[in-house]
Structure 1
Amino acid sequence: MRVLVVGGSGLLGRSVCRRGLGLGWSVVGTFYSGEIDVPGVEARRLDVTDRAAVRALVAQVRPDAVVGTPYRYEDWTVTADGAAHVALAAAEVGARLVHLSSDALHAGRPVPYLDDEPPTPVHAYGAAKAAAETAVRAIDPDAAVVRTSLIVGEGSKQIQLCRDALAGRATLFSDELRCPIDVTDLADAVLELVASAYAGLLNVAGPDAVSRVELGLLVAERYGLDPAGLKSTTSAASGLVRPTDVRLDSTRAAGLLRTRLRGVREVLAP
């Protein structure tokens, strides 16, 4: 298996590269501004907003499969247009495509979201992720589109945000619920999907629903930090329009995949 990991310099991309090598696969990873510090990975620089460059690279690499993980929080061209460019290039060479999406495309509600529910974005990033899904599914109906949640693990931005809040440098929301997932669990699930014929939407997230404040307290316990200094507020009090209670029901993935999706309380246990 020869797999191209677009966004291989990110937390998830590096994990997918590393785990793919562990399976004995040939792995090519792309980067833009960072680097891929995974020995054995063939690294290529790529700007996903440049459609011609994406098509040229994929045509040159000729992968059996493409994993699309790139995003930039406040950049529509990377998150939405970039996903479309990757999907188009993969389709042109007949490569299997696994596209990474996000729970951020939902608005939030008291009931968990099932796999096939339509997006209800309330902010620009959520709208960009929804647009990316629309493009990917239109270009390649056989692609697997993975909706996931907050990614935790060593080097995770979510863990660092919690550390910053515990040190008084950032603020966590008490009314935003998510289902965090360990980066290695997510990477293994993605690689299972690469080797499968699954098509369409699939929620792949942890079974534990926690608020961002609860996540901060779990981080404090895991790393022996003082929870007393944790700064918190609510989305309503902040004046920001953000998704609130967004819990993904990953029952379908749990039945489909061999990878066990661990809860964040287990992942961050001291």
Structure 2
Amino acid sequence: MRVLVVGASGFLGGEVCRRTVGAGWSVVGTCHSGDITAPGVEVRRLDVTDRAAVRALVTQVRPDAVVSTPYRYDDWRVTADGAAHVAVAAAEVGARLVHVSSDALHGGRPTPYADDEPPTPVNAYGAAKAAAETAVRAVDPGAALVRTSLILGEGSKQIQLCRDALAGRVTLFTDMIRCPVDVTDLADAVLELVDGTYAGPLNVAGADAVSRAELGLLVAERFGLDATGLTTTTSAAAGLAGPGDVRLDCSRAAGLLRTRLRGVGELLAR
């Protein structure tokens, strides 16, 4: 199988490349300004906001499957328009599409979100991720849409954020609840979907729901760091417009996939 990973210089994209190469598949990875460190990957430069360039590259590569991971938190063109461009190009060559989405498209509530629930974004990034899903589903109803959460692992921005908080450089929120997932678990789940036929949204996240503040304490315990310097607040007190309590019900993924989606308690256990 020939797989095109769009956004291969990113944290998840790079891990998808490594796992795909390990599976013995041919891998082409795209990047814009970063570097692709995964060995065995054919590297191509690509600006996903350039619709003609996306179509030209996909037509040239002619992949059997496309994994679409690029996003930029403050750029609608990358997150929303870029996803649409990739979906159109993949459909034109008949490639299987796995689009990586986010729990950020939900507004937050005390009860978990099911896979098929419609987006309820409350900030610009969430709206961009919701628009991306809408475009992908309109272009290719057979595409898999992976709704995931905070991604952990060696080199994770989320772990570094917790380290910064423990050092007193930033503050963590007690009311921002997520279901962190390990990058290797997520990448393996994506590969299963690449090689399958599942269509539509699928929640793929960790088994444990924790606040960012609780995640900080788990990181402190895991790495033997002093937690006394950790400061916390609420997103409301900080004036942050964003989703609060976003728990994903991943029971469908647990029944569908061979990959076990470990909870953060297990991931960070000493």
Q: 2:268 aligned with 1:268, yes or no?
A: yes
Opposite residue 32 of structure 2, the aligned amino acid is Y
Report the alpha carbon displacement of residue 222 of structure 1 after superposing the two structures with TM.
Answer: 1.1
Unaligned segments of structure 1, at least 5 residues: none
Alignment of 1:31-180 (within 5 A): 31-180=31-180
Q: Distance in 2 between matches of 1:225 and 1:77?
A: 39
Report the alpha carbon displacement of residue 252 of structure 1 after superposing the two structures with TM.
Answer: 0.1
Q: 2:7 aligned with 1:7, yes or no?
A: yes
Q: 2:227 aligned with 1:253, yes or no?
A: no
Task: Provide Cα deviations, 1:214-263, integer angstroms capped at 9, x if missing partner.
Answer: 00111111111111111211011001111000000000000000000000
Q: Distance in 2 between matches of 1:257 and 1:18?
A: 19
Opposite residue 151 of structure 1, the aligned amino acid is I
Q: How many equivalent pairs are there?
A: 270
Give the match's secondary structure for 1:60. Answer: helix
Alignment of 1:229-244 (within 5 A): 229-244=229-244
Q: 2:213 aligned with 1:213, yes or no?
A: yes
Q: Distance in 2 between matches of 1:156 and 1:119?
A: 26
Opposite residue 229 of structure 1, the aligned amino acid is G
> Taking structure 1 as the reference length, what is the TM-score of the superposition?
0.99
Report the alpha carbon displacement of residue 132 of structure 1 after superposing the two structures with TM.
Answer: 0.1
Give the match's secondary structure for 2:67. Answer: strand
Which stretches of structure 1, 4 residues or more, deviate above 4 A after TM superposition?
none
Q: Distance in 2 between matches of 1:148 and 1:47?
A: 24
Q: Distance in 2 between matches of 1:269 and 1:35?
A: 31
Report the alpha carbon displacement of residue 39 of structure 1 after superposing the two structures with TM.
Answer: 1.1
Opposite residue 215 of structure 1, the aligned amino acid is L
Give the match's secondary structure for 2:237. Answer: helix
Opposite residue 41 of structure 2, the aligned amino acid is V
Report the alpha carbon displacement of residue 28 of structure 1 after superposing the two structures with TM.
Answer: 0.6
Q: Distance in 1 between matches of 2:141 and 2:155?
A: 33
Q: Distance in 2 between matches of 1:248 and 1:117?
A: 10
Opposite residue 67 of structure 2, the aligned amino acid is V
**2:195 equivalent in structure 1:** 195
Q: Distance in 2 between matches of 1:129 and 1:187?
A: 19
Report the alpha carbon displacement of residue 8 of structure 1 after superposing the two structures with TM.
Answer: 0.3
**1:226 equivalent in structure 2:** 226
Moved more, 189-198 or 227-236: 227-236
Give the match's secondary structure for 1:101. Answer: strand
Give the match's secondary structure for 1:145. Answer: strand
Percent identity over the alignment? Answer: 81
Give the match's secondary structure for 1:238. Answer: coil
Report the alpha carbon displacement of residue 62 of structure 1 after superposing the two structures with TM.
Answer: 0.6
> Taking structure 2 as the reference length, what is the TM-score of the superposition?
0.99
**1:181 equivalent in structure 2:** 181
Give the match's secondary structure for 2:228. Answer: helix
